[in-house]
Amino acid sequence: MAIIITAFERSPDGGKGLARDTRVRWALEEVGQPYEVRLVSFRAMKEPAHLGIHPFGQIPTYEEGDLALFETGAIVLHIAERHVGLLPDDANARARAITWMFAALNTVEPPILELVTAKFLEGDKPWSKKRLPLVQDRIRNRLGQLSARLGDADWLDGAFSAGDLMMVSVLLRLRSSGILDEFPKLAGYVARGEARPAYKRAFAAQLAINAGMS
Amino acid sequence: MAIIITAFERSPDGGKGLARDTRVRWALEEVGQPYEVRLVSFRAMKEPAHLGIHPFGQIPTYEEGDLALFETGAIVLHIAERHVGLLPDDANARARAITWMFAALNTVEPPILELVTAKFLEGDKPWSKKRLPLVQDRIRNRLGQLSARLGDADWLDGAFSAGDLMMVSVLLRLRSSGILDEFPKLAGYVARGEARPAYKRAFAAQLAINAGMS
């Protein structure tokens, strides 16, 4: 059965790979599953046809036969559970890899989303300049803890897993802020993720769409 | 093998059930698994012994024999996958229930966490009063979409699942703000969650600890 995902017709980041479809593309590339992409405009994302699949009117979605999913984390976990390459065989190691997926999405990403909000939705507010350092420090606090745990290891828990895929994807959102470079171990970790052939293919695929339109 | 979770020695909410151990207690009660609780002080949470289990120095954690997990979402999923009661049997329905867990934690909770931050970490800042309505409106936007999807159904996708457990738990954080009551369908949904015997037992167990200390 063909896998169909959705992506922005034109990504807000212009093809830097930060739209969440890149995370799903990366997962599919790691496990060697082909997929088709349906592009969605900002207007179409808020219309009933798309809201029927994604109640929050976002991308990506995942369709495979009768199954329709939304939420990047759920889609990546679904892919990881059904194909070899993103989760270890050992049950305990598998549970720990899934733990890192949740840590990426619910512990590390929220303060990073606050920074995105502070810049893009509140960048013109009178408090913006004074408030930004507080937001950045909350991110630094989390990154310090993450860096301490990673130490000198290549990946968070043994071999590369869906947990690393998600954590690297979340950290990539920080690159333009310069904060990532304050944590050399994490900057190296992200670079290792980006160097994976599967990531490169995923990045190139989303860039091709956005470059063709800019 | 005994299941041991961690909880605050003294919860910041004084026993309102908003500390994340309540989510894990609720899951364990739904599937009928007994558990032990190890209480952790704020100081001990930041010490090496606890950081070895939870790299971000938070609660809850989950220990069972050789396995040690952190992240509420991962713990609840682990429980739901290993015991009957929190996930449907059908594979597609199961994937959709897990999707709602991720939606609760990565789409609905982040703007709610922003509100918590705005009140408790930035409540004394000069911008606090003017900024609060923006933060609240971002929550209202998500709740409007969630309410539209829920409609008149009891639960998000068929029978009660781990997805509902997580969504109700996330929405409970909003009660004191009054925002939840602006969405009667969601307020009813949360009330249905709270009315479950398993939730009541979980709530009572965390309250007993905090009431004994206050």
Nearest CB to A103: which of B51, B67, B71? B71
* Cα torsion A108, A113, A116, A122: sign: negative
Name chain A contacts of B107, Cβ cutoff 8 Å. 56, 58, 71
pLDDT at B213: 53
Name chain A contacts of B102, Cβ cutoff 8 Å. 71-74, 77, 105
CB pair distance less than 8 Å for B103 and A56: yes
From A118, A16, A77, select the one nearest B117 (Cα to Cα): A118
Strands ordered across the beta sheet of A3-8:
A36-40, A3-8, A61-64, A67-70
Taking the C-alpha atoms of residue A39 and residue A213, their distance in angstroms, rounded to an integer, is: 12
End-to-end CA distance of chain A: 33
Q: How far is CA A125 from CA A122, B122, B134, in A?
A: 5, 16, 11
pLDDT at B1: 83
pLDDT band at B214 (very low <50, low <70, confident <90, very high): very low
By the 8 A CB rule, do B34 and B79 touch?
no
* Cα torsion A96, A99, A103, A104: sign: positive
Asked if A83 is an interface residue toward chain B (Cβ–Cβ < 8 A), one would say no
pTM of the model: 0.96
Asked if A96 is an interface residue toward chain B (Cβ–Cβ < 8 A), one would say yes
Tens digits of residue pLDDT in A87-122: 999 999 999 999 999 999 999 999 999 999 999 899
DSSP H helices in chain A: 21-30, 42-45, 48-51, 72-82, 91-102, 109-120, 128-150, 162-172, 184-194, 197-211
CB pair distance less than 8 Å for A77 and B69: no
Asked if A151 is an interface residue toward chain B (Cβ–Cβ < 8 A), one would say no
Tens digits of residue pLDDT in B69-86: 999 999 999 999 999 999
What ipTM score was computed for the predicted complex, to two decimals?
A: 0.96
Most B-contacting residue of A1, A47, A56 (CB-CB within 10 A), to test interface: A56
Percent with pLDDT over 90 in chain B: 94
Q: Domains in chain A and their CATH numbers? A: 3-85+198-211 (3.40.30.10), 91-196 (1.20.1050.10)
Name chain A contacts of B99, Cβ cutoff 8 Å. 69-71, 74-75
Most A-contacting residue of B24, B61, B71 (CB-CB within 10 A), to test interface: B71
Name chain B contacts of A125, Cβ cutoff 8 Å. 127, 130-131
Asked if B185 is an interface residue toward chain A (Cβ–Cβ < 8 A), one would say no
CA dihedral B124, B183, B143, B97 (to 10 degrees): 130
